[in-house]
Amino acid sequence: MKNVAVDLRPLACFLTIRHWAKHTPPKTPKTRISESFCHSTKSTHSLTSTARKSTTIIAMASQSPLPPWLPPQLTESPSPTLHALTTSLLPHLLSAISQIGATLRSSHHVSLVGSANSFGDDQLNVDVASENLMRAALAKCPLVVRASSEEDPEEKEVHQGEASSAVSSDERFSVAFDPLDGSSIIAANWSVGTIVGVWKGETTLGKNPRDQICSLLGVHGPRTTVIVAIREVDATEGFASAAGVCFELGLDDNNKIELLNPNIKLSAPPYKTRYFAPANLRFAADSPSYSALISSFITKKYTLRYCGGLVPDLGHILTKGHGVYVNPVAAASKAKLRRLYEILPVGLVVECAGGKAVDENGKDVLAKEVQGCDERGGIVFGNTDEVEEVVRALMG
């Protein structure tokens, strides 16, 4: 299949028209606002006008064509959820990831800004800039109800103080994201990432992880690429299936999108080359089982590929079609990865690519709901047979 290059300027024009529709009263209003929408102290006339604008936006979005960078298998009979996701939300997220990449390439001085996020992590100037770009992108999407991030780990309404068109739509999304994953290695000019999880509904908390219908991993290296996983949604039943699609896009600084790989799949054995990525390697000094596992990788002549960045490490595994990433935890080695912002989006990508991702107990990372934004855990992911072998080695 030929690569597909897409110019986002027509889409930007469409979004401008949609923005105009949101702020310009229609000449012939035909809709009425429901009582459940009357949550503010505005006058009835003002509320009705807002509802009419929102309905106009939804109607325009529902008529928009699917973006040409989608892989063919997603364009045959898209569900309403898939249509809303790919025409309304994903273009904004991809634009933000592209802008983050451009910002990183021009930010030659990486420095602390003197603040910390809610987890107590010191913030870099590039952390703050990336967070702001993502927040601005979400504010442009009327179908996003709530969002939280690793830099601001509290679910908040995206359209505070104004009526979102999500009120008038059956398609509502919530988003959890890590704007810049790998801050500890960015000063060395290593590849870093942006992680985004998109959930169907108005919250990401207390829900079945199967409601996470899409995740994006932006890889900021010599070039900016995005690995996208979309869990298929049945067009008639409206539920998410276990199957999914994983594909790769290329972004440039001129808002062009190119479909690089329409169907990312991990390889089946036998493997030509076998790769391993051992995170938290210091833990091997206190864990005989982890130390023995590392030794077995060496004895079996695995190739070491580990850079300390979760996104580029997974990107390497997906590019090569093989690999296993191991991040064990124990009482003496506490978990650092956040489930909502890192583990679950990564788990969806691995699953859609035909692999397996388990937690520190050997359980499917997508089997347990998230109750709080600061939940943490370990993870092992990669080719299914490799993951199962690691689980046996570490847990018996």
The domain of 298 spans: 275-395
Considering the domain architecture, whether residues 330 and 236 belong to the same structural domain is answered as no
pLDDT of residue 333: 80
Determine contact, residues 342/359, Cβ cutoff 8 Å. Answer: no
Considering the domain architecture, whether residues 378 and 305 belong to the same structural domain is answered as yes
Considering the domain architecture, whether residues 360 and 390 belong to the same structural domain is answered as yes
pLDDT of residue 19: 43
The answer to whether residue 34 is domain-embedded is: yes
pLDDT tens track for 280-321: 999 999 999 999 999 999 999 999 999 999 999 999 999 999
Considering the domain architecture, whether residues 257 and 298 belong to the same structural domain is answered as no
CATH of the domain at 102: 3.30.540.10
pLDDT of residue 14: 45
Considering the domain architecture, whether residues 213 and 354 belong to the same structural domain is answered as no
Considering the domain architecture, whether residues 209 and 300 belong to the same structural domain is answered as no
Considering the domain architecture, whether residues 256 and 305 belong to the same structural domain is answered as no
Considering the domain architecture, whether residues 215 and 241 belong to the same structural domain is answered as yes
Beta-bridge partners for 258: 5, 250
Considering the domain architecture, whether residues 151 and 30 belong to the same structural domain is answered as yes
Distance CA 325, CA 151 (A): 25
Considering the domain architecture, whether residues 254 and 315 belong to the same structural domain is answered as no
Q: What's the half-sphere exposure (Cβ side, CA atoms, 13 Å) at 5?
A: 4
pLDDT of residue 172: 94
pLDDT of residue 163: 52
pLDDT of residue 213: 96
Beta-bridge partners for 195: 178, 217
Considering the domain architecture, whether residues 52 and 191 belong to the same structural domain is answered as yes
Spell out, as residue ranges, where the chain has pLDDT lower than 50.
1-2, 4, 8-61, 235-239
Q: Of the residues 261, 290, 308, which one is the last residue of a structural domain? A: 261
